Structure 1
């Protein structure tokens, strides 16, 4: 599965349509639909990748059915949609701790 077509330029957020002027973050249910998987299978995988520092979940501010919705961001050290010499500062802060984790310590190149 390739999520590249859903990663917003500069923010590295997984979105519904990267061509929109203001792309809307995809919540976990929508990500499950995008990749053709069941939500109950997608959520544990995303949570596992968050624990490993590969993804970051941030509250999107949108709530539906009394449940919080999360925007999901891809670690820019793994994949970055934008100018690697000008990585979004907020994105750097989100993944600062991840770079200290053993899982990501041995990456060959660091962007920032």
Structure 2
């Protein structure tokens, strides 16, 4: 959702409070696109004022799995490797403060 919307919609962080008395089950859905699909921001959401923030990828599942493994080790942003990091996106992100801490971290990475 975050990549396809070009950062307009932010993916939810999955957090839970577990119980020592009851079991809990999480089911991830719509997580494995077909291997031949190219995952990229929707063309109608990208323009000169709001350029694409994410690289197109046909190998997104493998990239995310590797990054997710690294994230569990270092607590990094899972979508960060998919981002373009050129300076010109800094101005685009400055108005995105409503997205919270990840945006601030992203802005610092672009400087």
- Give the structure-1-normalised TM-score: 0.30
Determine which structure has the larger strand proportion and give its number: 1
Select the structure of larger CA radius of gyration: 2
Q: TM-score, normalised by structure 2?
A: 0.30
